Amino acid sequence: MKSSILVFAVFCSLIPSSQAADIADQQLIHQQARQQALEAQLAPPPADVRLSVPEKAVSSTFPVETPCFPITRVILAGTENFPHWLPFRHVAQQSENHCLGDKGISRLMTQLQDQLINHGYVTSRVLAPRQDLHTQTLKLVMIPGRIRHIRYTPDSGKYIQRITPFPAREGKLLDLRDIEQGLENLQRFPTVQADMNIVPAEQPGESDIVLDWRQSRHWRVATYLDDTGSKSTGRYQGGFTFFLDNPWR
């Protein structure tokens, strides 16, 4: 998100009159160093936005069932819709050369679904179409969850709606990591509050991302005073910084 901060700083030093010699250059160096340290101290830390769920381990064991079907091959359809499909294929291969019943197939589908969630594809799904398992081949279909629309609540600021600083895009695969990055971008300033909801759309596999973005005010003020100055520039150093957040909204 391209946002701007305008910083104005005023510094003052308490210097004895007996030491009021030509120290302008040294004082300027101290002020510049102190300004950099102040800006680093006052800069808001990156927003910690973590929406991902903990990863789950994949088990290669399957329950013994009756009846069951010996499966020598598992076909995953729809992997071309996902940029990282090898982990899904690895999970599917662990079920090959096993005799799978209803519980075994359900366990495999759950493991594949967990892998989707681990990769951030929280709205994508794994389905099992009707098929004849006497062929010893199991076919599963991976349905991608895509973003239909990205919209804002009526109370969201119009400024954020114009610049749209969100890495997720309409029509793309819904990746929770993109949404996390987007929320971090929206909450760069301490005066901003942002929230997000994923709402199912009318078509299967599609979802809308609804964002709520609000900014309480567009300015911040910070001051400091300490006694770490030198003899030439004065022992006591003080100043204040005035921040403008999103001044051109």
Cβ partners under 8 Å of residue 204, min gap 6 = 143
- Cα separation, 131 vs 228, in Å, equals 78
CA 235 to chain centre: 44
86 DSSP 8-state letter: H
- Cα separation, 223 vs 239, in Å, equals 6
CA 195 to chain centre: 12
Strand pairing of 146-152 and 206-215? parallel
- Cα separation, 15 vs 231, in Å, equals 8
- Cα separation, 191 vs 43, in Å, equals 12
Exposure string over 40-60, b if 16+ CB within 10 A, otherwise e = eeeeeeebebeeeeeeeeeee
CATH class of the domain defined by 69-143 = alpha beta
Q: For residue 9, is pLDDT > 70?
A: no
CB atoms within 10 A of CB 110: 12
Q: For residue range 63-101, what is the model confidence (pLDDT) as tens digits?
A: 899 999 999 999 999 999 999 888 999 999 999 999 999
pLDDT band for 152, please (50, 70, 90 cuts). Answer: confident
- Percent of all residues in the chain with a pLDDT value above 70, rounded to a whole number: 56
Counting beta carbons within 10 angstroms of the beta carbon of residue 216, is it exposed (0 to 12), middle (13 to 18) or buried (19 or more)?
exposed
Residue 174: predicted pLDDT = 95
Q: For residue range 36-61, what is the model confidence (pLDDT) as tens digits?
A: 655 555 455 555 555 555 555 555 68
pTM value is 0.64
Beta bridge partners of 225: 238
Computed over every residue of the chain, the mean pLDDT equals: 75
Q: Looking at this protein, which amino acid is placed at residue 137?
A: T
Q: For residue range 218-238, what is the model confidence (pLDDT) as tens digits?
A: 555 556 666 666 666 566 665
